[in-house]
Copies of this chain bind each other. A is one copy, B any other.
C-alpha cells in the first residue's frame, strides 16, 4: 500500500536526501535513475527540489526524463516556476513536452513564455494540438473557455448504447487519461443536445439509441462565463464537470470542478500577494533578481511618492513641532495605527467581495456597519494613546491632542478602508493592489493634520 507521509519531519528528511540524489543524477546523466527518482519523490516536493537546482542543472534534468514525465512535472510545478524552466529550453526540446500536456495547461504555460518563444514552440508542436492551443488562447484565462479542457467524449444522437460501449472499450487506454465522468451527445451541427452518465450505460439495453435515454436540455455554461460565477455554480451544484458551449450552443469543451477550484485557490494567493505590493500577484525566489526587484520597486516607488506627499503636511507645521517637540514621537504612531485599522477593513471588504457576500453597490450598508465599529475602536485606541501621552509628559492637553486625533483618524481609516475596495471594484480596478497605498496616503495626511492642527489650537496649554 502506498502510504502518505505521516509527519512533516518525514517529508523533510526524505527531501534532504532528495537534493543530494538529484545532484548526483544530473552529474552522472543517468536517465534511469532520473526516472526512478521522480517516481519516488513525495508529492509536492518536486517544486522545492527543482528550485534548488541551477537553471542549467534543471535543463539537464529535463533532458534526462521522458517527455511525458516532463509534462507531468511541469503540470505539478507552480506556473511561474514551470514557465521559467521551459523558457530555458530550446523550442524543439520544449515542443514534445507541450504535446504531452493537457490542453488547459498548454495554454497557461505558453502564456508564461516570451511571445517569440511560444510562437517557435507552436511551430514545432503537433499541428492539431497547436491549432487547439490557438483556439483556446483566444479566451480570457479566468473564463470558462480559458479554464476548460478540450479532451471530452462526444457522440452523435443517432448512435446506440452498444456503439458507445464498444468505442469506450476500444479506446480504453486513450480515454483513461480523460477522467471521463459524462458522455456528451451532439447533433450534426455539433450542438450540445444531451448528456449521459457512465452509470446509466450500465443499466441500459445495448440496442437503445442514446438520444432516447440521454438527459435532454443539459446544464451548460457559456464560454465567456467568469471565474466567480463558475465558483458559485459549482458551490451550488454537486457536479464534477460541465459542458462549455459557445454562443451558438456548439460544444467547445468541458470545465471540471477541480480546475475551477484550483483557479480560485490561485486567485486567493495572488490577491494576498498583490495586497502586500507584489505586482502581478506572483513571485518565486527562483526568479531572476532583476525581475523580482523591478516588480517590487515599481510598487514601492509609487508608495514613496505618496508618502512624501503625505509627510508634506508635517512640513507645513514645522513651527508647531518646534514648540512641542514631543509631538514628533506620536506622528509615526498615529500614522501606523490608522494604517492598521484601515487595512483590517480593506481585508474584510476584499474577502467579502471574493466570497460574493457584498457587491460594489452595497457601499452604504458597509459604510453604516463600519462607522459604528470605527467609533468604538477609535475611542478605545484614542483613550489608550492619550493616556500614554498624558502620563509621559504630565500635560493633559497633550493627551487630548494625541488621543483625539487618533480617535477621529481611526474612524476615518475604518470607513475609508471598508469603502475603497468597493469603489475600485466598481471601476473595475484591482482592490487588492491599490487599496492599501490610497488608504495610507489619505489617513497619513489626515492624521498628521489632525494632530498638528489640534496642537495649534491648544498651543497655550501644551507649552
A residues near B (Cβ < 8 Å) are 1-6, 8, 11-12, 15, 42-48, 51-52, 76, 78, 81, 165, 168-169, 179-181, 198-199, 201-203, 217-222, 224-226, 228-233, 235-238, 240, 249, 257-258, 261-262, 264-265, 268-269, 271-273, 275-278, 283-286, 289, 292-293, 296-297, 299-301, 303-304, 307-308, 310-312, 314-315, 318, 321-322, 325-333, 335-337, 339-341, 343-344, 346-348, 350-352, 354-359, 361-362, 365-366, 369-370, 372-373, 376-377, 380-381, 384-385, 388, 392, 440, 444, 448
Contacts A/B (CB < 8 Å), 24 sampled: A1-B218, A1-B220, A3-B222, A5-B229, A6-B225, A43-B232, A44-B231, A169-B203, A179-B238, A261-B261, A268-B272, A272-B275, A277-B340, A283-B348, A286-B357, A293-B373, A293-B376, A296-B344, A304-B385, A312-B329, A314-B332, A315-B326, A336-B339, A336-B444
Q: Which residue of B lies closest to A102 (CB)?
A: B238
Q: Which of B265, B292, B361, B372 contacts A265 (CB under 8 A)? A: B265
- Please give the distance in Å from A222's CB to the nearest CB on chain B: 6
By a CB distance below 8 angstroms, the chain B residues around A271 are 272
* Residues B201 and A337 in contact, CB atoms below 8 Å apart: no
Contact of A202 among B198, B284, B348 (CB under 8 A): B198
Known: A4-B225, A357-B284, A361-B12. A269 touches B351 (CB 8 A): yes
Task: Please judge, given known A-B contacts A321-B328, A336-B335, A385-B304, whether A376 and B289 are in contact too, CB under 8 Å.
Answer: yes
Q: A44-B231, A300-B337, A352-B284 in contact; A276/B222 too (CB < 8 A)? A: no
Query: Residue on B with the closest CB to A347?
Result: B276
Closest to A447 in B: B332
Closest to A16 in B: B361
Closest to A50 in B: B357
Set of chain B residues within 8 Å of A321, measured between Cβ atoms: 325, 328
B304/A381 in contact, CB under 8 A: yes
- In the complex, chain B residues whose CB is within 8 Å of the CB of A346: 276
Q: Which residues of B contact A303 (CB under 8 A)?
A: 336-337, 340
Task: Report whether A341 and B300 are in contact in the complex, using a CB–CB cutoff of 8 Å.
Answer: yes
With a cutoff of 8 Å between Cβ atoms, the chain B residues found around residue A237 in the complex are 43
CB neighbours of A47 from chain B (8 A): 355-357
A425 to B348: give the CA distance in the assembly, Å.
24
Closest 9 CB pairs of A and B: A44-B232, A276-B347, A43-B236, A268-B268, A261-B261, A328-B328, A43-B232, A272-B272, A4-B221
A278 and B45 contact, Cβ closer than 8 Å, known pairs A169-B203, A297-B380, A325-B322? no
Task: Tell me, rounded to whole Å, the shortest Cβ–Cβ distance linking A274 to chain B.
Answer: 9
Report Cα–Cα, A26/B339, bound state, in Å.
41
CA distance A350 to B327 in the complex (A): 36
Minimum C-beta distance from A150 to chain B (A): 16
Residue of chain B at shortest CB distance from A339: B336
Given contacts A276-B344, A343-B276, A361-B12, contact A377 B337 (CB under 8 A): no
Would A351 and B43 count as touching, CB distance under 8 A?
no
Q: Is the beta-carbon distance between A329 and B315 smaller than 8 angstroms?
A: yes
Q: Is the CB of B278 within 8 A of A348?
A: yes
B272 touches A261 (CB 8 A): no
Q: How many angstroms between the C-alpha atoms of A276 and B202 in the bound complex?
A: 53
> Is the CB–CB distance between A48 and B357 below 8 Å?
yes
CA distance A257 to B169 in the complex (A): 27
Residue of B nearest to A217 (CB): B1
CB contacts (< 8 Å) of A168 on chain B: these are 199, 202
Which residues of chain B are near A222, meaning CB under 8 Å?
3-4, 6
CB distance from A244 to the nearest CB of B (A): 10
- The answer, among B198, B202, B225, B257, for a CB contact under 8 Å with A165, is B202
